[in-house]
Amino acid sequence: MQRRKVLSALGATMLLGRLVPAWAQGYPNQAIKVVVPYAAGGGADAVARLLGRGMSDELKQSVIVDNKGGAGGMVGADFVSKAKADGYTVLFAGNPELTITPWLQKASYAPLTDFTPVVLVSQSPNVLVANASLGAKTMRDALEAARKSPRGITIATPGSGTPQHIAVELLRAQTKLDITHVPYKGASLATVAVLGGEVSFALVGAPPLLPHLSAGKLLPLAVTQPKRSPLLANVPTVGEAMGIMRDDDLVAWYGVLVPSHTPPEVVAQLERAASLYLKQPDTRAKFAALGTDLIDMPGAAFAQRMRTESAQFGEIVKRFGIKSD
């Protein structure tokens, strides 16, 4: 009887060993690919590479960044949505391709159901800036000065259908001012436009602005989020500056996601590795140097934020008839 029990237990163990997938027997046991849906050298790419090095140390495995740009981030997101759900293909994406662009054009993936959010890593404030030659020190005064100028109020953004474009539409609706939106192909070109005086203002993410703010060439007027950004603690929110858009959270955020149906144990390991790195004492300063505020939001809360934000952006896109480039 005892011998039969031992043999039965041994057989069950061997069967379990055959049934348990490879990830449960030592994930990760090979390199992890992090797909960034933008070209190398941009803000998202820089944050992804910094995070990848930190996660590699925690996971004791290589983390390789793979840039798959195109269609405003949708090419890379689509690639990961169709990848094997084993934790070895990860998406490092932002809100344009996850909560905005799918409302503007047909997407081959469903952001809220084709991915499992792992961790919301960081967010960069979107900053309304003016050329220092405008002479105004506050957002209210700067808008009034621009309104009286021959050019009028012109605001450059990184493109149509971006979070910054949405912010411009809300600003125009709530101030009742005659504001002209001027879309450029990227934040760098919009920054160059306001530096050169082609437009009165630019509304872009912080990374390309920081050196010009430090040099005094551009004046930061407000950030488009409910609370001030730690990165630019002296810059008021639009709510503080104008008394409007107090609850609008129009930032550029970046997060880690995996294909849906990835085993929960794998998702948990990725979340733990990312969070351990993000909690290290010197990580926040490294992120700030890249122009982004560290967030470290767990997967469940990240998923809820995506759902809420997607619904809000969908309503705004419909209300203002926003189109993509």
- The confidence score (pLDDT) of residue 42 equals 84
d(CA 207, CA 187): 9
Q: Does 117 lie in the same domain as 151?
A: no
Q: Residue 131: is it exposed, middle or buried by C-beta count within 10 angstroms (0-12/13-18/19+)?
A: buried
21 band by pLDDT with thresholds 50, 70 and 90: very low
Q: Does 183 lie in the same domain as 278?
A: no
Q: Are strands 218-223 and 153-157 parallel, antiparallel or unpaired?
A: unpaired
- The confidence score (pLDDT) of residue 3 equals 46
List the one residue out of 97, 193, 95, 179 whose CA is nearest residue 139.
179
Give the CATH number, domain containing residue 169: 3.40.190.10
Q: Residue 203 above 80 pLDDT?
A: yes
Q: Does 76 lie in the same domain as 104?
A: yes
As for how many domains the chain has, the answer is: 2
Out of 191, 219, 242, a domain closes at 242
Across residues 165-178, what is the average pLDDT?
96
d(CA 46, CA 162): 20
Domain-embedded: residue 24? no
307 band by pLDDT with thresholds 50, 70 and 90: very high
Domain-embedded: residue 6? no
Q: Tokens 């961790």 correspond to what residue?
A: 119
Model confidence, pTM: 0.86
- The confidence score (pLDDT) of residue 6 equals 42
Per mean pLDDT, which range of 1-15, 150-164, 194-208, 305-319 is the poorest? 1-15
Contact predicate 153/180, CB 8 Å: yes
The pLDDT tens digits for 35-92 are 999 989 888 999 999 999 999 999 999 999 999 999 889 999 999 999 999 999 999 9
Domain-embedded: residue 133? yes
Give the CATH number, domain containing residue 42: 3.40.190.150
| Helix axes 264-278 and 43-59, enclosed angle (nearest 10) | 110
Domain-embedded: residue 297? yes
Out of 214, 242, 270, a domain closes at 242
- The confidence score (pLDDT) of residue 23 equals 41
Q: Does 42 lie in the same domain as 143?
A: no
Domain-embedded: residue 2? no
Q: Residue 168 above 70 pLDDT?
A: yes
Out of 208, 242, 276, a domain closes at 242
Q: Does 139 lie in the same domain as 96?
A: no
Phi, psi of 224 (to 5 degrees): -95, 65
The pLDDT tens digits for 226-285 are 999 999 999 999 999 999 999 999 999 999 999 999 999 999 999 999 999 999 999 999
- The confidence score (pLDDT) of residue 318 equals 94
25 band by pLDDT with thresholds 50, 70 and 90: low
Q: Residue 17 above 70 pLDDT?
A: no
DSSP 146: H
Contact predicate 177/142, CB 8 Å: no
Q: Residue 4 above 80 pLDDT?
A: no
The structure tokens listed for 231 are: 């990165």
- The confidence score (pLDDT) of residue 239 equals 98
Q: Does 144 lie in the same domain as 204?
A: yes
Q: Does 172 lie in the same domain as 134?
A: yes
- The confidence score (pLDDT) of residue 15 equals 43
Domain-embedded: residue 19? no
d(CA 59, CA 41): 25
Q: Does 148 lie in the same domain as 184?
A: yes
Q: Does 157 lie in the same domain as 115?
A: no
Q: Does 237 lie in the same domain as 95?
A: no
Domain-embedded: residue 22? no
Domain-embedded: residue 11? no
Per the prediction, the chain carries an average pLDDT of 91
- The confidence score (pLDDT) of residue 202 equals 98
The pLDDT tens digits for 110-159 are 999 999 999 999 999 999 999 998 889 999 999 999 999 988 999 999 99
Q: Tokens 């474009």 correspond to what residue?
A: 165
Q: Does 131 lie in the same domain as 82?
A: no
Q: Does 299 lie in the same domain as 230?
A: no
Grouping H, G, I as helix, E, B as strand and the rest as coil, residue 65 is strand
Mention every residue, 6+ apart, whose C-beta is less than 8 A from residue 75: 37, 68, 69
Domain of 152 in residue numbering reads as 126-242
